[in-house]
Amino acid sequence: MNHPALSGPVRFFGTCLADAVFPDAGMAAMRILDHLGCSVVYPLEQGCCGQPAYNSGFPEQARTVAMQQVRAFRGEGPIVVPSGSCAGMLKFHYPRLFADHPQYFEVAAFSERVVEYFDFLVNVLDARFEDKGPPVRVTWHSSCHALRETGSTQAAKALLGKLCNVELVELSREFECCGFGGTFSVKRPEVSAAMARDKVEDIRATGAQVVLTADCGCLMNITGTARKLGYDITGMHLAEFIWGRINEK
Amino acid sequence: MKSDSFDFTAALQKALADPQIGGNFRGALDGLRGKRLALFNDAEELASLRATGKALKARVLSRLPELLTQLEANCEKNGIRVHWAETTEQANRIVLSILRECGADMVVKGKSMVSEEMGLNRFLEQNGVEPVETDLGEFIIQLAVEPPSHITAPALHKNKLQVAEIFHRCVPGAPYTENVEELNAIARTTLREKFRTAKAGLSGVNFAIAETGTLVLVENEGNGRMCTHVPPVHIALMGLEKVVEKLDDLPPLMRLLTGSATGQLLSTYVNAITSPRAEGELDGPREVHLVILDNGRSTMFADPELSGALRCLRCGACLNNCPVYVRVGGHAYGSVYPGPIGAVITPQLEGIDNKGDLAGASSLCGACEEVCPVKIPLAGHLRRIRAEGQAAPGEGCVRGAGAKRSLVERLAWTAWAYTETHPRLREYLLRAAALMGDKLPEVGPLKTWTAARTAPRVAPKSLRQRVREEGIRHE
Ligand code: SF4
């Protein structure tokens, strides 16, 4: 990713899932930015990035929602997104979605400003944290879009590596999708469930106490599946985990 | 293959319930994936190779009609007879008439996906000609009376024990053996006799070189070469996208093809056929025919976006890396081309009304695009076909556009867009949902979701509320 120059406030795109289901993750992510000396702004008019409609074959509705975000984030400076999937949508798919539309340049200028959260932390802020937590063994799940679109997985893992009491055990199939895929999980439930079950088994095989990720969609899918299967697996957004490690008493 | 009654959901459920499918595919595909990774271990080199592959094939597409004309002229000059077929029906008839002319009541076949697309075997059988598959994988599934389940490895769904059982049951006089050498020997003995007596052989084409009028075939067993060189007549079948400009384009494309398919630097056999047997030559067929099939490809070609799929080399790497394909296998797709590339081209070849559902068989994770040697944006194509399925009357240009149009879904997305553009309404609805706690009615998507997962709990306070209450700057 290209990194927009840092001057003025950092605008935070919370994602619709963090808003509705994982506000702790969103709050932690903003507190970390604040902790690192950034001036964080949360535009209240924001919402979903539009990816569900876009991927389901409803580009028109996706464009309507996309323009809402473009307007909510008017101004300058970076827009940080704590989700590889939403970041990829905002950064790479918005320009495609508007390729033949009069709003193209406005949208492209918006997309230019988008950075995935951990990519921003590592490559723009050069973040370092003091790990005050007890020793813990964790594993890491990469969302497909963090892995293949924003390329931000490395940054997230690098950050994790800097926490001295945290041991990272890698998944044997990190490259494989957890089966969420937004509406895929309800449109092709049989396949999606099979993928989610395999992911949960892979996580169990690591013997880790916590599975971390940078995508609330995957998190909801993985923990929901684990619970349904009766497994006691803790899942957490990496931002929330880090915030906990910095503030451990 | 006829498809009108195809029930994708049922096919998927059946495949997922079959433990053998999961086991056989995962094992075999892990092997192929590993070999590919081992060969392409230099990321930079791979990136430049893929860029070259994409550029070469894109250039072909930019001048496709011209190159096809050039190919035809040069083939004819070399003594290869060229036939054009707009439909699979026409292609079948052309093949049959060539076979009748040379008096063949049996034809030995090398591996050809286009012949599968044509349903050639059934057509020939109905017309009194016996097709004999000679690629080992194809030989196995022909005995088992099954279609291929993979583009490059047709019998991938069979393990050794299943093959042992099939040979014992279907090859006259074959003993039961699980020894791979012995199994190979059974196939070889059976096929040698066919090669020796066949009046005609048939093959696919991996690359047809316009500049020289050369047909290039890549294979690992040598049986393909038996088909193209032993019988007096050779018929080659190709989709019109297989043409490439010049001989010089071959090395990078070949490297991408074999590397992506099986992780091989080069396949064991590379056949370059430029003419029938010439005066004074000792071997080779007396006649070579090339059948060039359209079957919807020119419609794909006319679409600036979807024409990208015509770059496909049929290497199968997108299948090997697809988390859906690996779990359900090729037969679940109910079409000749399974996996990501199948989900992209089948709805185009057979219509969205028939096969549009296939485009839904992807979480759009992008694993296919990541490995595609010619960088086909498979996820983007799948998205486009999904949108074509929902197109309004008069919109959309893929055959059967609008066939998946659902009023309920359209209304739901429109309502969603309305909510998302009215943040206050959105917040109000979220609060209402939070108050319901775990008493949210499990209907629609939530019901489907909770079949395999616990329901997500809407947080008592949304992020937006907390931003306001906990002193985060907002605007
Ligand atoms: S789409 Fe790409 S990866 Fe898939 S078979 Fe074609 S060339 Fe290979």
ipTM for the predicted complex comes to 0.95
Rg (CA), chain A: 18
- Cα gap B88→B96, rounded to integer Å: 12
Question: Residue A40: its chain B contacts at CB < 8 A?
Answer: 472-473
pLDDT digit string, tens, across residues B215-246:
999 999 999 999 999 999 999 999 999 999 99
Who contacts B55 (Cβ-Cβ below 8 Å, separation ≥6)?
Answer: none
pLDDT of residue A9: 94
- Cα gap B449→A193, rounded to integer Å: 9
Residues across chain A: 249
pLDDT > 70? residue A249: no
- Listed residue (B137, B121, B108, B142) closest to B224, CA to CA: B108
Q: Please report the beta strands in chain A, taking only residues with DSSP state E, as ranges in sequence order.
A: 10-12, 40-42, 79-81, 114-116, 136-141, 166-169, 210-213, 234-237
- Cα gap B171→B413, rounded to integer Å: 57
Q: Which stretch of A151-155, B278-282, B294-298, B368-372 has the lowest confidence by average pLDDT?
A: B278-282
pLDDT digit string, tens, across residues A167-203:
999 999 999 999 999 999 999 999 999 999 999 999 9
When scoring B467, B470, B474 by the number of chain A Cβ atoms within 10 A, the one with the most, hence best to mutate, is B467
- Cα gap A71→B92, rounded to integer Å: 57
The 10 Å Cβ neighbour count of residue B434 is 18
- Cα gap B117→B101, rounded to integer Å: 24
pLDDT digit string, tens, across residues A59-111:
999 999 999 999 999 999 999 999 999 999 999 999 999 999 999 999 999 99
pLDDT > 80? residue A3: no
Dihedrals φ, ψ of B207, to 5°?
Answer: -140, 135
The arithmetic mean of pLDDT across residues B415-424, rounded, is 96
**Ligand 1, atom nearest to B315 Cα:** 8
pLDDT of residue B440: 79
Percent of chain B whose predicted confidence (pLDDT) is above 70: 99
**Ligand 1, atom nearest to B319 Cα:** 4
* One-letter identity of residue B179: N
**Band of residue B3 on the pLDDT scale cut at 50, 70, 90:** very low
**Facing residue for B474 by CB, picked from A18, A22, A44:** A44
A64-99 in b/e form (b: 16+ CB < 10 A) is bbbbbbbebbeeebbbbbbbbbbbbbbbbbbbebbe
**Band of residue B2 on the pLDDT scale cut at 50, 70, 90:** very low
- Cα gap A152→B394, rounded to integer Å: 41
**Ligand 1, atom nearest to B378 Cα:** 1
**Facing residue for B423 by CB, picked from A42, A47, A61:** A47
Cβ contact B240:B292 at 8 Å: yes
With CB atoms and an 8 Å threshold, state whether A228 touches B365. no
With CB atoms and an 8 Å threshold, state whether B420 touches A96. no
Question: Residue A14: its chain B contacts at CB < 8 A?
Answer: 463-464, 467
- Cα gap A32→A240, rounded to integer Å: 9
Gap between the terminal Cα atoms of chain A = 36
Report the mean per-residue pLDDT for chain B.
95
With CB atoms and an 8 Å threshold, state whether A57 touches B366. no
**Band of residue B22 on the pLDDT scale cut at 50, 70, 90:** confident
With CB atoms and an 8 Å threshold, state whether B363 touches A68. no
- Cα gap B451→A135, rounded to integer Å: 36
**Band of residue B6 on the pLDDT scale cut at 50, 70, 90:** confident
- Please report, for residues B190, B329, B450, the alpha-carbon distance to residue B11 in angstroms, rounded to integers and kept in the order given: 34, 10, 22
> Which residue's C-alpha comes closest to atom 6 of ligand 1?
B312
The arithmetic mean of pLDDT across residues B102-116, rounded, is 97
The arithmetic mean of pLDDT across residues B152-179, rounded, is 94
Q: Which residues line the pocket of ligand 1, CB cutoff 6 A?
A: B 260, 312-318, 341, 371-374, 376
Cβ contact A44:A69 at 8 Å: no
Cα–chain-centroid distance for residue B412? 34
Tell me the DSSP string of B112-139: -HHHHHHTHHHHHHHTT-EEEE-SHHHH
Cα–chain-centroid distance for residue B183? 28
Question: Residue B472: its chain A contacts at CB < 8 A?
Answer: 27, 30, 40, 42
With CB atoms and an 8 Å threshold, state whether B363 touches A21. no
Dihedrals φ, ψ of B389, to 5°?
Answer: -65, -30
pLDDT digit string, tens, across residues B167-192:
999 999 999 999 999 999 999 999 99
pLDDT of residue A2: 53
- Cα gap A41→B474, rounded to integer Å: 5
pLDDT > 50? residue B1: no
Report the mean per-residue pLDDT for chain A.
95
- Cα gap A127→A117, rounded to integer Å: 11
Q: Can you tell me which residue has the tokens 């619970």?
A: A227
With CB atoms and an 8 Å threshold, state whether A56 touches B461. no
pLDDT > 50? residue B361: yes
With CB atoms and an 8 Å threshold, state whether B387 touches A59. yes
Cβ contact B375:B367 at 8 Å: no
Q: What is the DSSP letter of B75?
A: H
With CB atoms and an 8 Å threshold, state whether A58 touches B387. yes
The arithmetic mean of pLDDT across residues B139-148, rounded, is 97
Note whether A144 contacts B: Cβ–Cβ < 8 A.
yes
When scoring B365, B414, B454 by the number of chain A Cβ atoms within 10 A, the one with the most, hence best to mutate, is B365
> Which residue's C-alpha comes closest to atom 2 of ligand 1?
B372
Provide the β-strand partners of residue B133.
B109
With CB atoms and an 8 Å threshold, state whether B16 touches A194. yes
Cα–chain-centroid distance for residue B197? 32
Q: Are strands B233-239 and B200-203 parallel, antiparallel or unpaired?
A: parallel
pLDDT digit string, tens, across residues A27-60:
999 999 999 999 999 999 999 999 999 999 999 9
- Please report, for residues A179, A185, B3, B160, the alpha-carbon distance to residue B341 in angstroms, rounded to integers and kept in the order given: 19, 21, 18, 28
- Cα gap B75→B213, rounded to integer Å: 4
3-state secondary structure at position A190: helix
pLDDT of residue B23: 83
- Cα gap B211→B60, rounded to integer Å: 12
**Band of residue B475 on the pLDDT scale cut at 50, 70, 90:** confident
- Cα gap A59→A38, rounded to integer Å: 35
- Cα gap B312→B301, rounded to integer Å: 13
Q: Which of B313, B345, B348 to mutate to test the pocket of ligand 1 (most atoms within 8 A of CB)?
A: B313
Position with higher pLDDT, B141 vs B447: B141
Q: Which of B341, B345, B358, B378 to mutate to test the pocket of ligand 1 (most atoms within 8 A of CB)?
A: B341
Give the HSE-up count for residue A138: Cα atoms under 13 Å, Cβ half-sphere: 26
B351-362 in b/e form (b: 16+ CB < 10 A) is bbbbbbbbbbbb
**Ligand 1, atom nearest to B311 Cα:** 7
Cβ contact B74:B213 at 8 Å: yes
The arithmetic mean of pLDDT across residues B19-44, rounded, is 92
- Cα gap B279→B93, rounded to integer Å: 30
- Containing A202, the helix (H) or strand (E) segment is helix A189-206
Tell me the DSSP string of A84-116: HHHHHIIIIIHHHHTTTSTTHHHHHHHHHTEEE
- Which of residues 166 through 225 in chain A touch B, CB cutoff 8 A? 175-177, 179-197, 220-221, 224-225
Q: Measured in angstroms, how far is the CA atom of residue B320 from the centroid of ligand 1? A: 10
**Facing residue for A190 by CB, picked from B12, B362, B369:** B12
Who contacts A191 (Cβ-Cβ below 8 Å, separation ≥6)?
Answer: A179, B12, B16, B324, B327, B328, B361
